[in-house]
Structure 1
Amino acid sequence: MNMSLGRGTKERLVVIGGDAAGMSAASQARRMKGVDELEIVAFERGHFSSYSACGIPYWVGGDVAERDALIARTPEEHRARDIDLRLRTEVMEIDVAGQRVRARDVDSGAESWTSYDKLVIATGARPIRPDMPGSDAPGVHGVQTLDDGQALLDTLARTRGRRAVVVGAGYIGVEMAEALINRGYEVTVVNRGKEPMSTLDPDMGRLVHEAMTGLGITMVDDAEVTKILTGDDGHVRAVATEDAEYPADVVVLGIGVRPETTLARVAGLPLGHHQGLLTDLAMRVRGHENIWAGGDCVEVLDLVSGQERHIALGTHANKHGQVIGTNVGGGYATFPGVVGTAVSKVCDLEIARTGLREKDARRAGLQYVTATIESTSRAGYYPGADLMTVKILAERRTGRLLGVQIVGREGAAKRVDIAAVALTAGMTVEQMTALDLGYAPPFSPVWDPVLVAARKATKAVPAGS
């Protein structure tokens, strides 16, 4: 039975998740439809809404002074726009047939059902916690939400020791290593890969390794954590691998995240290879006309490989929300896919990638060539010119651009946007060499580093293939 009956012609939109995708969808739907047409109820299990999860490492590290600086729109601002946002309320069940959700007040434990005409699932992702002894011990933290960041800062404030171990060396691990260095901690990063940043090819990851070591971070690569050891008080005291123990007063898990799709799976909604929800171009859950999903809980189409991927980024989540809200509100919008662009930094080292790595290309059955060059961020004679390394992958037969990775100092990371546009447009590396990019000595050499790499890749593509 649809419990929304009795509200006349007014529809009810229920949103599960109060961050980027969920509240962007709610806000856009409210812009599309007035209060007399659409009632909006949003559930968020945490204390905060509409915040920048990507900014948490910089808040923890002290670059961002106040937690509230990361909040784009407060619950009060949402409520002022007639969005019934209920914090500290966790949805426990989705009844697809009955078009209703069961929610629990986190503090009181009280439960109630809320009916919906339209549903948006924006449950995000959860940090991967290794299935090993001690992974839930006090002093062990995942960092995904603002609540997680606050919990970590509370631990740092209570902890007298200054030894930190970061488990994992992906984006989260690298950024948290920098944050803890900035806090004055002695940092060890334990990474099961041969090099940090598995989002890069190993030869580019080696550059990140060298830079992190130069910053005083102890890098332990090619090592699997087997258990987290605790003291007599139950608090973490060390991280153990098969070969060694690394003392720790605090442990941060930077292993990565998984789509938080437990509710969707139990409800029988379609999940992909990465356990993310599957949607159509309008972000509607496949096979369900009145359910949409977006943000870190969904899989998206990789425009380069043609395969589904899970990529947890706020840029995508906000776009998903805009698309969903437009469609829920009676308009029309689509999200065509991604090329996999991401940037990060560790202290003054900038790291960027877009498109496919070598192993991605092999997995997709693509034959490719590579080209790697070193260049400078500015004209070599201009003060402040810094080295950067650019690597390009191109399809062997056609010369189609497949991916770009960049590691360097100031001015390196955002150059990847050139490649992201070229990938989206389906350009070849030869076509890229003719791009009319901005030039002046303070900003670039005469030949921008990305174009230098494209020229080298063009030469690597077999003639007449």
Structure 2
Amino acid sequence: MSTERLVVIGGDAAGLSAAAQARRLRGASELEIVVLEQGPEISYSACGIPYWIGGLVEDRDQLLARTPADFAAQDVVVRTGTRAEGIDLAARQVVVGGERLGYDSLVVATGGKPFRPPIAGLDADGVHGVHRLADGADIRAAIAAGAKRAVVLGGGYIGLEMAEVLQTRGLEVTVVLADPLPMAQLDDDMGEKVCAAMCAMGIDVQSNQPVREIEVGVDGAVRAVRTDEGSYDTDLVVLGLGMGPETTLAREAGLALGTTGAVDVAHTQRSRSHPEVFAAGDCAQTFHRITGEAIHVALGTHANKQGRVAGSVIGGRPARFSGVLGTAMTKVGDVEVARTGLCTTQAEEGGYDYRTELIESSTRAGYYPRAAPIHVKLITERGSGLLLGAQIVGGPGSAKRIDVFATAIWAGMHAEELAGADLSYAPPFSPTYDPVVVAARVASRVETG
């Protein structure tokens, strides 16, 4: 039996999950696996970069999950510092320098890329993304060199996290938003609570102000961010504008892209246009579990699962990706933020007749030390009480409650069913009726009268 070859482009969550799963299912004598990674490191936690910048993670290497040597021990060849320059779909080859590397199966796991709007000065010294370990090193170096002021562009997950850690490092922080509120993934009433928390921390939030220019000094370094409303002096600029799919290789090769601009794949992560090619992670299009609509969500949890699905199929085991709810959480200061499922805008766009309930409760028994307020918003289908989405803003201990809602929505539960769920109770962790149950009970009472 001749040995087949799997080539993986991209050495992070999706690509390495695919390689590891394919190796578990097929021996080295049956399947040769080669992973191409253009950067110097593999398998690192990009989500941990803000906390390394903030000093909560002391050593950069703590963010590294596995090394090329770890994979070599599993008969997986990882070639770092190796950029795939092109894909010849007809010949089933990847162009790498002067080499053409043939494949029987190909996994495209090129990840995502930070949004970089066409703004003058965005390439100046002192403007940083938060995508690679090198980005974190550059920001840490700027702080060590004496940076005193920072402007964060964008108020999503990365924007909030970077605003907090930069303030923790002693910088004056301004967050500039094109939107009216931070956390556009939330409804406005919940986004307002996040904004109020940021302002209470001393973070300067400037909303409804698209950036017009990054002003640069004679030395070529950033000195201010200009909007139509004013100019904000700064020593460094951090981009927190979100992520899009990195599909340059896929597009130039002729792989079909979906409506989101990411690689169009079936539920098996197999390319719809070229069945010997798979795509997974931030470069691949996925679908919302509730609406079935095509979406693009850049999260490491999805990337790992999609890579595992691709590796399973390549390894000969049937597998399908089950969609996403967009479940995510973050924090700014002591305020935790989480969401899952549909927000009201998505529910309306999905054609749902929906209703919302917003409750305020406590993270612990009210008499227990350090009990904090928690606000829970629940979105349900009017009449049936079908759970569609949930949002949480509250003190320490709030955010992980979103997983109960995510599980209930995943299972197709209704508010009345969740209201009767047997959730745990002890004063250090929850009031007698957990806020999850309270929100579900209020929603079910409205539906049943």
State the TM-score, normalized to the length of structure 1.
0.94
* 1:122, distance to aligned residue in structure 2 (A): 0.5
Query: What is the alpha-carbon distance in structure 2 between the residues aligned to residue 147 and residue 400 of structure 1?
Result: 45
**2:13 corresponds to 1:11:** no
**2:302 corresponds to 1:309:** no
SS state at 1:151 partner: helix
User: Which of 267, 278, 285 pairs up with 2:271?
Assistant: 285
Equivalent residue, structure 2, for 1:98: 91
SS state at 1:189 partner: strand
Equivalent residue, structure 2, for 1:72: 65
**2:100 corresponds to 1:113:** yes
* 1:246, distance to aligned residue in structure 2 (A): 0.3
Question: Residues 126 and 237 of structure 2 are in contact (CA less than 8 Å); yes or no, is this contact kept in structure 1?
Answer: yes
Equivalent residue, structure 2, for 1:229: 215
What CA deviation, in whole Å up to 9, does each residue of 1:170-198 have, x standing for no partner? 00111111121121111000011111101
User: Which of 382, 395, 402 pairs up with 2:381?
Assistant: 395
RMSD of the alignment, in Å? 1.3
Instruction: State the percentage of identical aligned residues.
Output: 51
Question: Residues 386 and 415 of structure 2 are in contact (CA less than 8 Å); yes or no, is this contact kept in structure 1?
Answer: yes
Equivalent residue, structure 1, for 2:128: 141
SS state at 1:461 partner: helix
**2:417 corresponds to 1:431:** yes
Shift in CA distance, 461/222, structure 1 to aligned 2, threshold 3 Å: farther
* 1:461, distance to aligned residue in structure 2 (A): 3.3
User: Which of 115, 130, 141 pairs up with 1:154?
Assistant: 141
Equivalent residue, structure 2, for 1:62: 55
Query: What is the alpha-carbon distance in structure 1 between the residues aligned to residue 143 and residue 76 of structure 2?
Result: 36
What CA deviation, in whole Å up to 9, does each residue of 1:301-327 have, x standing for no partner? 111122111111111111112111111
Equivalent residue, structure 2, for 1:415: 401
* Aligned residue identity for 1:124: G
SS state at 2:412 partner: coil
Equivalent residue, structure 2, for 1:107: none
* 1:91, distance to aligned residue in structure 2 (A): 1.1
Query: What is the alpha-carbon distance in structure 1 between the residues aligned to residue 187 and residue 259 of structure 2?
Result: 23
**Alignment map for 1:232-271 (pairs within 5 Å):** 232-271=218-257
**2:81 corresponds to 1:88:** yes
* 1:12, distance to aligned residue in structure 2 (A): 0.7
Question: Residues 396 and 462 of structure 1 are in contact (CA less than 8 Å); yes or no, is this contact kept in structure 2?
Answer: no
* Aligned residue identity for 1:455: R
SS state at 1:405 partner: strand
Question: Residues 106 and 278 of structure 2 are in contact (CA less than 8 Å); yes or no, is this contact kept in structure 1?
Answer: yes
SS state at 1:232 partner: coil
Query: What is the alpha-carbon distance in structure 1 between the residues aligned to residue 446 and residue 290 of structure 2?
Result: 20
Query: What is the alpha-carbon distance in structure 1 between the residues aligned to residue 239 and residue 142 of structure 2?
Result: 14
368-377 or 84-93: which moved more? 84-93
* 1:458, distance to aligned residue in structure 2 (A): 2.0
SS state at 1:89 partner: coil
Equivalent residue, structure 2, for 1:449: 435
User: Which of 166, 183, 189 pairs up with 2:152?
Assistant: 166
Shift in CA distance, 84/157, structure 1 to aligned 2, threshold 3 Å: same
* Aligned residue identity for 1:29: A
What CA deviation, in whole Å up to 9, does each residue of 1:368-419 have, x standing for no partner? 1000010001111222211100001001132111100000111100000110
Query: What is the alpha-carbon distance in structure 2 between the residues aligned to residue 313 and residue 119 of structure 1?
Result: 22
Equivalent residue, structure 2, for 1:123: 110
Shift in CA distance, 63/148, structure 1 to aligned 2, threshold 3 Å: same
* 1:462, distance to aligned residue in structure 2 (A): 7.3
Equivalent residue, structure 2, for 1:214: 200
Query: What is the alpha-carbon distance in structure 2 between the residues aligned to residue 320 and residue 233 of structure 1?
Result: 45
What CA deviation, in whole Å up to 9, does each residue of 1:9-51 have, x standing for no partner? 1011000000001011111111211211111111111111011
285-294 or 248-257: which moved more? 285-294
372-381 or 450-459: which moved more? 450-459
In the alignment, structure 2 segments of 5+ residues that lack a partner are: none
Query: What is the alpha-carbon distance in structure 2 between the residues aligned to residue 302 and residue 161 of structure 1?
Result: 42
* 1:208, distance to aligned residue in structure 2 (A): 0.7
Question: Residues 68 and 77 of structure 2 are in contact (CA less than 8 Å); yes or no, is this contact kept in structure 1?
Answer: no
Query: What is the alpha-carbon distance in structure 2 between the residues aligned to residue 231 and residue 80 of structure 1?
Result: 51
In the alignment, structure 1 segments of 5+ residues that lack a partner are: 1-7, 105-110
Query: What is the alpha-carbon distance in structure 1 between the residues aligned to residue 419 and residue 378 of structure 2?
Result: 13
Q: Which runs of 4+ in 1 moved over 4 A?
A: none
**2:13 corresponds to 1:50:** no
Question: Residues 370 and 460 of structure 1 are in contact (CA less than 8 Å); yes or no, is this contact kept in structure 2?
Answer: no
Query: What is the alpha-carbon distance in structure 2 between the residues aligned to residue 16 and residue 153 of structure 1?
Result: 29
* Aligned residue identity for 1:296: D
* Aligned residue identity for 1:284: R
**Alignment map for 1:31-46 (pairs within 5 Å):** 31-46=24-39
Query: What is the alpha-carbon distance in structure 1 between the residues aligned to residue 138 and residue 271 of structure 2?
Result: 34
147-156 or 33-42: which moved more? 147-156
* 1:243, distance to aligned residue in structure 2 (A): 1.5
* 1:338, distance to aligned residue in structure 2 (A): 1.2
SS state at 1:327 partner: helix
